[in-house]
Amino acid sequence: MEIVSITSGMASENGYLLFKEGKCLVIDPGTEDMRFFDEIEKRDAKVEAILLTHAHFDHIGGVDMLRRFTSAPAYIHPNETKWLSNPNLNGSIKFNMPPLKVKPAEQLLASGSLEIGPFQFHVLETPGHSPGSVTFYFKKEQVAFAGDLIFKRSVGRTDLEGGDQDVLMRSIDRVIAEIPHDTTFYPGHGPETTLRQEIKHNPFF
């Protein structure tokens, strides 16, 4: 599986493109950045799905444009279905930007195994940064996409709508218990890291 990271927007959010066997998954397209399309077209790949770790504005800004041009369905946790179209919940109003309203997701995420095209992965519910935050864990590839749960030497903020520090730490404890520590984590902001490195060096753990 090939992983391409695209960092964009006022929050320097990381969106990810996963390529395998001519197919593509898009994770957290935060803005309408044409580099998403450039990478997809370069590989002549078919986009199978748009996966959202959560529904804050900086992770969903490019969803509708991608859906228009690829017809791929968007996936979101049930706890944040209303956030996509609600600027107060997705935070776009809070940061003095135009209100962001994204169309409803076609699919809902549930905890457990999920197979989309050639991609097989596990969905873990990891709330705390927001009530519907999830982590996508690819066991075979030993990688995880955790949104704003864990950063290199930091963790996600909990002062936005629905945030809860205690819940966030319980989610981190669950990740430590359920995911191998050599797994590479690709966060919503900043560089990738491994769970082992964060257990050892992250002051919030």
Domain positions in the chain: 2-201
Distance CA 110, CA 76 (A): 9
Angle at 184 between CA 133 and CA 111, to 5 degrees: 35
Task: Tell me if the pTM is above 0.85.
Answer: yes
pLDDT per residue of the chain (205 residues) written in tens, 0 to 9: 999 999 998 899 999 999 999 999 999 999 999 999 999 999 999 999 999 999 999 999 999 999 999 999 999 999 999 999 999 999 998 887 889 999 999 999 999 999 999 999 999 999 999 999 999 999 999 999 999 999 999 999 999 889 999 999 999 999 999 999 999 999 999 999 999 999 999 998 8
| Burial class of residue 140 in the structure, from the number of CB atoms within 10 Å of its CB (0-12 exposed, 13-18 middle, 19+ buried) | exposed
| Burial class of residue 155 in the structure, from the number of CB atoms within 10 Å of its CB (0-12 exposed, 13-18 middle, 19+ buried) | buried
Question: Homologous superfamily of 2-201 in CATH?
Answer: Ribonuclease Z/Hydroxyacylglutathione hydrolase-like (3.60.15.10)
Q: What is the 3-state secondary structure (H, E, C) of 78-125?
A: HHHCHHHHCHHHHCCCCCCCCCCCCCCCCEECCCEEEEECCEEEEEEE
